[in-house]
Amino acid sequence: MMHASLWCRWVVRECGIGPCLKEVKMTGRESSTEQVARAVFLDAVQLIKAGQSRSQVTSQLVAKGVDRESADALVGELLKARGTVLFESGERNMFVGALWFLGGMVVTIFTYLAARRGGMYLIAYGAILTGAAQHIAGRVQRSKGNRILDELGIGGGSGLSIRQ
């Protein structure tokens, strides 16, 4: 994950919002372009975390003095990053959940087979249930990431990996 100050430098450089930020004032003090960019970036992140739509976040940034094109570029990149992180962490959670589930099943089956004639065996229901829950949570996560990326027109809609 990229540190906030690196993101701010990227925002100023790649999104080209440096020049438009000269008019944006932080309350109570004069600030450098990077400090203003950081504040705009953090505001956008908080608005996205709060569940606001792309147009709502863009409008609020414009109301704070950022030009519409720069605000839209920043929000688009933040949503792309969020979608990518959700998609990839969802896939990882699905994989780890499947491993726990299968591990629990293997332990259960092997102990059952070893105790065929009246012996005791272990049902690893903790691993099985935890794995199933983590796998399902990962599917939901991946689906959210996929939806965000599809709205941006980036893809992943077929369930294939988004890496290019």
Q: Are 104 and 124 in contact (CB under 8 A)?
A: yes
Looking at every residue in the chain, the average pLDDT score rounds to: 80
Q: Is 144 exposed, middle or buried (0-12, 13-18, 19+ CB in 10 A)?
A: middle
Question: Which ranges of 28-67 does DSSP label H, i.e. alpha helix?
Answer: 33-49, 54-63
Q: CA–CA separation, 86 vs 144, rounded Å?
A: 7
Share of the chain above pLDDT 70, in %: 75
For the segment 14-23, the average pLDDT, to the nearest whole number, is 46
